[in-house]
Structure 1
Amino acid sequence: MILFRSGATRRHLLGLGAALSLAPFAAHAQPAAAPKAPDAGKVSLELLMAEQPLPDVWLGDPKAPVTIVEYASMTCGHCARFETEVFPVLKKNFIDTGKVRYAMREFPLDPLAAAAAMLARCSGDKRQAMIELLFAQQPHWAYVDKPLDALRDTVKMTGMGQKEFDACLNDQALFNKIDRMRNEAAQKFGIDATPTFFINGDKKTGEIPPDALDKLLEPYLKK
């Protein structure tokens, strides 16, 4: 079962819709739990790479020998540490050198995480920059009394104004697609925690220290 984060109270999360008349959050205060598949250690690349409710945004060479798909929640502290401490090493040593292609998929653990994911999608070609900003600034918007106000102030750094912010978070269709992304991942791949990675279909849940990347990816690069 997906639970609310301890860092934000249930009252705050249920109040997201009232704060800005956000229809998606008023209608979906807590994402419905999806039936989960068995927690298999490996899934087929064909299933993993099937069309998603929202298109994948890939970084790296499409012909790279290693494909990494990460399921992350924008309010997840472990995901933030991966983004700020590990991802720069992954990008420099593996993505930029043609060894790895990588995509992050949304798996929001609460409505606030869904809001942040929606804002990243609404950023268009700035999505990666928005993700990096939100994870870097996570303590300043995810663990405060008025998270939506803090989130609004944070995304202003990317040039997103009030009108765009409100329009994005009122986009019911976008919310539904992010919710489907989470539900399908739980059902098909047994995901119930973030971050969860699939490396050429092999499932790994939890943090990856930056100094463990070489050892972790070496067997895949030898194949």
Structure 2
Amino acid sequence: MAPTSSTSSKSSPSKSSSAPGKGRGLAIGAAVLVAALLLGVFSYTATKPGSGSGSDTGSASDTPAADVSADPQNGVYPELEKLARRDAKDPLAQGRADAPVVLVEYADFKCGFCGKFARDTEPGLVKKYVDNGTLRIEWRNFPIFGAESEAAARAAWAAGQQGRFWQFHEAAYAEGVKEKGFKDDRLNALAEQAGVADLDRFKKDLDSAAAKKAVGRDTEEAYKLGATSTPSFLINGRPLAGAQPAETFEQAIEQAAATASGKKDTGR
């Protein structure tokens, strides 16, 4: 029997054979892609919380975390560190651009386990590591549960254009919100709750080509890594799958920080 995991899973949709667009997100380097594909860094099995289907519903407490990727001693792949964008102007990131540790999260707003991480684990990581300059968190939209997931991803991006991404993120991941769905009226209400000042601009940005391109860039990056489930993480090139216990993230972050400090001291 396949192991259960604190992730929500869905098979990747078939994608067009057309060449990807330009930009670092889609052209992240042949070495990175080869490393990811050969190593299969996210080739774990994930199940729906509380059952064996690939739905986004259910409570994260229904199933234990998977053994795979839970051990912070798992492999670190230096080439994958290059996926950290470290753009100081990125509205979908928090923490210093030059922080020694970067946590990249691939997530979906309809994912129950992503919500568990956002509510139960991430705030503690921000307080303990982001606020003191150790950690940077970079969000990647990875909508795998259909049209509403896609719409929520574009809405989050649109909120970010007015500096309210993290406030939208908090509102969208509040307990019971995803069960209400992410139709247009709900997205508008969440934007207003998040303090988005110009709602007319928000609506235009949500449906813009730029929003679709940004979400597509993140999604393509995740699929190239072999990710089919959410949430999926990279911590300085170390893959971590699912809403693992806070201690797992803390150990991985502290080890990555120690490694980064050692490299700095030796001039590597």
Normalising TM by the smaller chain, what interval? Answer: 0.7 to 0.9
More moved, 212-221 vs 40-49: 40-49
In the alignment, the residues of structure 2 paired with residue 63 and residue 97 of structure 1 have an alpha-carbon distance, to the nearest angstrom, of: 12
Matched, 1:85 2:159: no
Match of 2:95 among 38, 49, 60: 60
Cα RMSD, aligned residues only:
3.1
Kindly state the Cα deviation for residue 172 of structure 1 after the two structures are TM-superposed: 3.0
In the alignment, the residues of structure 2 paired with residue 68 and residue 90 of structure 1 have an alpha-carbon distance, to the nearest angstrom, of: 10
Matched, 1:173 2:207: no
Is the Cα contact below 8 Å between 1:56 and 1:104 reproduced in 2? no
Kindly state the Cα deviation for residue 190 of structure 1 after the two structures are TM-superposed: 1.1
More moved, 159-168 vs 71-80: 159-168
What is aligned with 1:126?
164
Is the Cα contact below 8 Å between 2:91 and 2:165 reproduced in 1? no
What is aligned with 1:101?
136
Q: Which runs of 5+ in 1 are unaligned?
A: 5-29
From the superposition, tell whether residues 193 and 183 of structure 1 become closer, same or farther in structure 2 (CA, over 3 Å). Answer: same
Kindly state the Cα deviation for residue 211 of structure 1 after the two structures are TM-superposed: 3.7
Kindly state the Cα deviation for residue 209 of structure 1 after the two structures are TM-superposed: 1.7
Q: Which amino acid aligns with 1:82?
A: F
In the alignment, the residues of structure 1 paired with residue 95 and residue 227 of structure 2 have an alpha-carbon distance, to the nearest angstrom, of: 25
SS of 1:216's equivalent in the other structure is: helix
Is the Cα contact below 8 Å between 2:110 and 2:149 reproduced in 1? yes
Kindly state the Cα deviation for residue 32 of structure 1 after the two structures are TM-superposed: 4.6
Q: Which amino acid aligns with 1:106?
A: N
Aligned pair count? 193
In the alignment, the residues of structure 2 paired with residue 56 and residue 132 of structure 1 have an alpha-carbon distance, to the nearest angstrom, of: 14
% identical aligned pairs: 26
From the superposition, tell whether residues 80 and 216 of structure 1 become closer, same or farther in structure 2 (CA, over 3 Å). Answer: same
Kindly state the Cα deviation for residue 183 of structure 1 after the two structures are TM-superposed: 1.9
Match of 1:205 among 232, 237, 241: 241
CA shift digits 1:11-39 (9 cap, x unpaired): xxxxxxxxxxxxxxxxxxx9654799352
Q: Which amino acid aligns with 1:37?
A: L
Is the Cα contact below 8 Å between 2:10 and 2:229 reproduced in 1? no
Whichever structure has more helix as a proportion of its residues is 1
What is aligned with 1:183?
220
In the alignment, the residues of structure 1 paired with residue 85 and residue 127 of structure 2 have an alpha-carbon distance, to the nearest angstrom, of: 27
Is the Cα contact below 8 Å between 1:106 and 1:182 reproduced in 2? yes
More moved, 103-112 vs 60-69: 60-69
More moved, 206-215 vs 142-151: 142-151
CA shift digits 1:106-128 (9 cap, x unpaired): 11112212211211221221111
Output the TM-score relative to the length of structure 2: 0.61
SS of 2:143's equivalent in the other structure is: coil
Q: Which amino acid aligns with 2:101?
A: V
Is the Cα contact below 8 Å between 2:92 and 2:157 reproduced in 1? no
The structure showing larger relative contact order (alpha-carbon pairs under 8 Å, at least 6 residues apart) is 1
From the superposition, tell whether residues 111 and 179 of structure 1 become closer, same or farther in structure 2 (CA, over 3 Å). Answer: farther
Match of 1:116 among 136, 152, 173: 152
Q: Which amino acid aligns with 2:105?
A: E
Kindly state the Cα deviation for residue 162 of structure 1 after the two structures are TM-superposed: 5.9
Is the Cα contact below 8 Å between 2:121 and 2:245 reproduced in 1? yes
Output the TM-score relative to the length of structure 1: 0.72
Q: Which amino acid aligns with 1:64?
A: A
In the alignment, the residues of structure 2 paired with residue 206 and residue 162 of structure 1 have an alpha-carbon distance, to the nearest angstrom, of: 33
CA shift digits 1:89-116 (9 cap, x unpaired): 0000011111111111111112212211
